Amino acid sequence: MKKLIFFIFFCLITAVKPSLAQSITGNELLEFCDGNQQEKETCLFYIIGVIETKQAMEFWQKSPCYLYYRPEKSTNGQLMDIVIKGLKENPKNRHLSAVLLLFNYMSAAYPCPTK
């Protein structure tokens, strides 16, 4: 039921404002991350938003680990560093969605523990 509500909400948002459905690329995110102070804050808030959305998905799905496991004492700055490092070290993939790249870099840095 929750997935259905989320899907309907998503469809309504994208129907009203199609530009919200567009995703930024890794190139665009890196431009923010390497920019002036305001752009760096935009980069950080983007990354935090994606991470907190992932945490909400874990809560809704009652899953202890979805895509990657964030260590308890990790900071947002550390997570930002992981994403920026991934973007800089993998320029061939930066044309892809920033969200997908972020999840890829985070899962490589913090894989879900095996049972």
Global pTM reads 0.72
Sign of the dihedral through C-alpha 18, 21, 97, 41: positive
Q: What is the mean pLDDT of residues 65-87?
A: 87
In a domain, 114, yes or no: no
User: Is residue 83 within 8 Å of residue 48, measured between CB atoms?
Assistant: no
Report if residue 46 sits inside a domain: yes
**What's the rounded Cα separation, in Å, for the pair 33 and 76?**
13
Quote the number of domains for the chain.
1
- Residue 1, in any domain of the structure: no
With residue 43 as reference, give the H or E element that holds it: helix 37-61
Q: Which domain holds residue 87?
A: 23-109
Neighbours of 101 (CB within 10 A): 21
Whichever domain contains 91, its CATH number is: 1.10.890.40
Both structure tokens of 87: 């973007």
Domain assignment present for residue 79? The answer is: yes
Structure-model confidence comparison of residues 105 and 56, the more confident one: 105
Q: To the nearest whole number, what is the mean pLDDT of the chain?
A: 81
Q: Which has the higher per-residue pLDDT, 57 or 48?
A: 48
- pLDDT tens-digit readout, 12-54: 445 444 444 468 999 999 999 999 999 999 999 999 988 888 7
Going by the DSSP 8-state scheme, the letter that residue 74 receives in this structure is -
Q: Is 59 domain-assigned?
A: yes
